[in-house]
Amino acid sequence: MSTNPSLIVTTYNWPEALELVLVSIQLQTVMPCEVIVADDGSDQRTANLLAKMKPEFPCPLHHVWQTDNGFQAAKIRNKAASISSGNYLVFTDGDCILRPDFILSHKKLAQEKYFVAGNRVLLSPQFTSTVLEKKMNIGDWKPGQFQKDDINRPWALLRIPQGFLRTLQKNRWKGVKTCNLSMSKQALVDVNGFDENFHGWGYEDSDLVIRLLHRGYQYLNGKFSTTVLHLWHHENDRRQEGNNWKQLMAVKNSHKYFSEKGIDQYRHSRIEDFKPDFLV
């Protein structure tokens, strides 16, 4: 499958982590055609960081922003995807350091009618503090370079060719996260993107995957190839988790694939429509 990937990085008010993620993108062996920072309402510090890094960035670096109105990851990802120029979309988060072959691996794994779901390893609170303080580039570290308890699963960083094993669980949706997910742009459009009826933390990514499955797309396992390094942070506010779970189960137990409130509302949008208020 020929891919021209746009990389979408979701963030909210953590420029120190985002900087490390952007540095790891600069060190990719294969660059995306663009990087779109999908900003769920950060203050000016994030805009300042992007303005500083943009002139020397090795590919176009865009900033898509919306007013801070609580956790609205589905909405900002739709906005970012709507203005993307690539025919393939790779999603990650602004607290996930990428390994140098992250984009290359997603390109190699891309197949028609599949979405690629990778995994993550979690940094400990102490190691996260050290990495942030020293601005350490750990994206190319081998498993043996980490000290005991730096990360939770060193073995997940191994490179293991899996061949046909990657497509054995074609209907899997549990455990799929948008910190490490890719698909064709057409696939996202076919299901009308993320469902913006999911408010607050929880399950907007699972909902997307279930609707992709309902539409005829299938799961491809990206583990042991696309693993990202997730910086530790306190849990998000989960007061909406119960309501979001009920909404997810309703979708799962139906044949629904097209979100009621999704990416189609932005089909005529331009990047200038999503500039931060303080830059307008």
**Looking at residues 217-237, what average pLDDT do you find?**
94
Give the chain's domains with CATH numbers.
Answer: 5-279 (3.90.550.10)
Name the β-bridge partners of 182: 90, 116
- CA 102 – CA 228 distance, rounded (Å): 8
- CA 201 – CA 199 distance, rounded (Å): 7
- CA 211 – CA 135 distance, rounded (Å): 39
Name the β-bridge partners of 6: 34, 89
Is pLDDT of 280 > 60?
no
The pLDDT value recorded for residue 25 is 98
Query: Which tens digits make up the pLDDT trace of 159-191?
Result: 988 888 999 999 999 999 999 999 999 999 999
Query: Which tens digits make up the pLDDT trace of 34-77?
Result: 999 999 999 999 999 999 999 999 999 999 999 999 999 999 99
- For residue 181, how far is the Cα from the chain centroid? 6
**The token pair that represents 279 in the structure block:** 């830059």
The residue type found at 151 is I
How many Å is the Cα radius of gyration of the chain? Answer: 18
Which of 99-108, 159-168, 204-213 has the least mean pLDDT?
159-168
Give the residue from 192, 212, 210, 197 showing the smallest Cα distance to 263.
Answer: 192
The pLDDT value recorded for residue 181 is 98
**The token pair that represents 173 in the structure block:** 């949706």
DSSP conformational letter for 151: B
Is pLDDT of 199 > 90?
no
Query: Which tens digits make up the pLDDT trace of 112-148?
Result: 999 999 999 999 999 999 999 999 999 999 999 999 9
